[in-house]
Amino acid sequence: MIVELVSTGTELLLGQIVNTNAPFLAARLNELGFSVLYQTTVGDNRERMRNVLTAALERADIVITSGGLGPTQGDITKEVTASLLERKMYLHQASAERIEKYFAERHLCMPDNNLRQAMMPEGAKIVDNTCGTAPGVIVEEESTGKIIINLPGPPHELSAMFKISIVPYLIERFGIQGSIVSRVLRTYGIGESSLEERIKKYILAQSNPTLALLARNGEIHVRITARAENEAEALKLIDALENKIRPELDEYIFGTNEETLEMVVGNLLLNKSLSIALAESCTSGLVTSLITDVAGSSGYLTGSIVCYSNSVKIEQVGVPENIIAVKGAVSRETAEFMAQGIREKFQTGIGLSVTGIAGPGGATADKPVGLVYIAIDGPAGLTCFEHHFNGTRTNIKHRTALAALNHLRQYLLSI
């Protein structure tokens, strides 16, 4: 089956946002065995959108649109789909009630034009939106058997709707043969090309399972996708290839599939019954916030102090004044005192500290922007790491946070 993706939205044509929906849908559809041969982007213009959808229906079996399901006059994707397939629009009562409920639950009064989101093409399947107000739509053209699927534009709404509702629909409708399973090995601390070098022979030899490398903000993901009679067989194929790849990458692989560094760290803290407190300077709460992105993190995170000023480092975290005077606020010694100080103050099993220069200001002759110290104090003793990161202020904060979590992971594994 051939699929065409049609992304709608003037902001895409103006280059104001990057289209992440198309690669998301393309990757998932390919795993399901569908061929995505064309992707088209068009603005919120009825005539041009109709032309694009007409061309797409000629060369594809399934057309999946994203965007243009909102409540505003500019949101026309459903109307254009309906008129192209000669369906009238009607008010879908259940959707109207869901939208009204959505606003009521938030103690908001619903503007009338939100009901536009409940107007549906006759004979369409209505798809729930678990993350927003705009339902999705599936319209099947009886005569040709061709299908148009309208999905919402916001990436988190689109991805949830696709996984929860569209994948089961496609599998049921087209009776996908056998089973396609993917497993992602998440690595940290190795570059994409070095990683590729290490497993090149498997990448070149790939057929089933297939191997794909994906750079994902600071991590490199290795996605293994296998096709087989059933899930068990596919998993066997994945296990076999993973067993060959792992030895090459073992030190860098921290988790699989949806596992994040903060989840892995959280599980290690729970398993070892260790609590943690942080003293953050240049990351100023980012590491702590990542740790609490994990449900249940109150089971191990006691708290943190963001010691942005020297006075807070000295008075609240117990860094000796002369250390800051002599060695500087960004120094191995300060980082170590911060880790010990916060651990003692909050009486936790682990104390983690971060101090560095996020830039653009603050650099000195011997201390450039991107210089970062990360210290950990705990049952295995006190240890400190020096890093030199580059990029913007927020890049450096983010890279520092990931490095801190990874050092913590390795420290906990060593206990």
Q: How far is the CB of 164 from a second copy (least distance, A)?
A: 14
Closer CB to a second copy, residue 81 or residue 297?
297
Strand pairing report for 35-42 and 2-8: parallel
Residue 29 or 412 with smaller CB distance to a second copy: 29
Residue 309 engages a second copy in binding (rule: CB under 8 A) = yes
Q: Is 111 exposed, middle or buried (0-12, 13-18, 19+ CB in 10 A)?
A: exposed
Distance between start and end Cα atoms, the chain: 52
Q: What does the angle CA 384 – CA 387 – CA 388 come to, to the nearest 5 degrees?
A: 160
For residue 209, say if its preceding peptide bond is cis, omega within 30 degrees of 0. yes
CB of 380 to a second copy, least distance (A): 24
The three-point CA angle 138-142-143 to 5° equals 135
Among 32, 171, 176, 203, binds a second copy (CB under 8 A): 203
Q: CB of residue 51 vs a second copy: minimum separation in angstroms?
A: 8
Using the minimum distance from each CB to a second copy, give the nearer residue, 107 or 381: 107
Query: CB–CB of 174/157 below 8 Å?
Result: no
Site for a second copy in 365-404 (CB under 8 A): 388, 390-391, 393-394, 397
∠ CA 247-252-254, rounded to 5°: 105
Looking at the DSSP bridge assignments, the partners of residue 169 are none
Give the largest CA-CA distance in the chain. 83
CA atoms within 13 A on the CB side of 296: 9
The answer to whether 188 touches 219, Cβ cutoff 8 Å, is: yes
Minimum CB distance to a second copy smaller for 87 or for 221: 221
Q: Is 325 in the site for a second copy (CB under 8 A)?
A: no
Pick out residues in 209-268 that bind a second copy (CB under 8 A): 212-215, 223, 225
Map the footprint of a second copy across residues 14-53, applying CB under 8 A. Answer: 14-20, 22-30, 36-43, 45, 48, 51-52
- Give the H or E element holding residue 199: none
Contact stretch for a second copy (CB under 8 A) within 170-178, 207-215, 226-234, 331-339: 207-215
In the complex, what is the shortest distance from the CB of residue 32 to a second copy, in angstroms, rounded to a whole number? 12
**Least gap, CB of 63 to a second copy (angstroms):** 14
For tokens 């243009």, the residue is 68
Are 237 and 208 in contact, with CB atoms under 8 Å apart? Answer: yes
Residue from 154, 209, 255, 351 in contact with a second copy (CB under 8 A): 154
Residue 73 binds to a second copy (criterion: CB under 8 A): yes
199: contact with a second copy by CB under 8 A: no
Q: Which of residues 172-191 bind a second copy (CB under 8 A)?
A: 182, 191
Pick 14 or 365: Cβ nearer a second copy: 14
Judged by CB under 8 A, the number of residues near a second copy is 105
308 contributes a contact to a second copy by CB under 8 A = yes
CB-based contact 212:225 (threshold 8 Å): yes
Binding segment toward a second copy, per CB under 8 A, in 81-89, 102-110, 138-146, 235-243 = 102-110
**Taking CB under 8 A as the rule, does residue 192 contact a second copy?**
yes
Q: Which residues contact 380 (CB under 8 A, 6 or more apart)?
A: 411, 414, 415
Our finding on whether 295 is near a second copy (CB under 8 A) is yes
DSSP bridge pairs for 188:
219
User: Which position among 65, 165, 187, 283 is part of the footprint of a second copy (CB under 8 A)?
Assistant: 283
